[in-house]
Structure 1
C-alpha cells in the first residue's frame, strides 16, 4: 500500500522539511555562525569554510528557501541573518515531536530479547 504524504499533519511535514535542510553539516555550521553574529552577516560566512563560494551560496539558498535565514543583496554585497520566527517555529515543532517520544519511552518498554526474527 502506497502512503500519501499529503495525509500527514502539517507540523510533521514542516519539521521534516526543516530537518532535511539542516541535515547537512555545512548548513548547521552556517546557522551556528549566524547565531553568533550581533547583526546580519555581511558576506563574511565564507571565511574559514573549506568550500567554494558557489557551494556556500547553494547552501545559503537552501536555508533561505526553507525560511530559516533571511538574505538580501545590495551593491554586490550579501547580508544574511537567522529568521528567528522560523527558528522558534522549528524549535516548537522539534520539542513537540521529541517530547512526545520521551513521554512514550517512559510509558512503554520494548524488550527485543523476547522476540525472534523469522527467516524468509
Structure 2
C-alpha cells in the first residue's frame, strides 16, 4: 500500500495548501468577490455576472464549499451561498504566521 506524501507534512501545511488550491482559479476569486459584495447570493445571479456557464460556476462553487470557504443551502432549484468568514480568519492567521516565519528565515538567507 502506497503512503501519501502529504502525510509527511504537518496538518497546518496541508490545510494551507488546500486553502491555496481552492483559491487557485480566477473564477473562484471572482465568485468570492461577488459573495462578499452581496453577503449572500443565489447561484443564478453569479452565473449572470461571470462569463461562465452555469455548470462551470456550479463546479467552482463545489470546490469552494469542499474547502469550507463558503457555506450553502439548496432549496429546490435555488442555491444560496455565503462566505465562511471563520474559515477565512483561520487561514488569514495561518498565512500571516507562515509569511512572518519566512521573513525571519529570509534574514538568514545567503542570497
TM-score over 0.5 (shorter chain): yes
Q: Which position in structure 1 is the counterpart of 2:42?
A: 42
Q: What secondary structure, in the 3-state scheme, does the structure 1 residue paired with 2:12 have?
A: helix
Q: Which position in structure 2 is the counterpart of 1:117?
A: none
Structure richer in helix, relative to its length: 2
TM-score normalised per structure 2: 0.88
Change in 2 beyond 3 A, CA 1:3/1:51: closer
TM-score normalised per structure 1: 0.82
Q: Which position in structure 1 is the counterpart of 2:91?
A: 90
Q: Does 3-12 or 25-34 show the bigger shift? A: 3-12
Instruction: For residue 109 of structure 1, report the CA deviation from its aligned partner.
Output: 3.5
Q: Does 39-48 or 80-89 show the bigger shift? A: 39-48
- Structure 1, gaps ≥5 residues long: 112-120
| Structure 1 stretches of 4+ moved >4 Å | none
Q: What secondary structure, in the 3-state scheme, does the structure 1 residue paired with 2:49 have?
A: coil
CA displacement 1:12-45 (0-9 Å, x = unmatched) = 00000000111000001111111112x3212311
Alignment: residue pair count? 108
CA distance in 1, matches of 2:66, 2:104: 33
The 5 A counterparts of 1:1-120 are 4-37=5-38, 39-43=39-43, 44-105=45-106, 107-111=107-111
- Structure 2, gaps ≥5 residues long: none
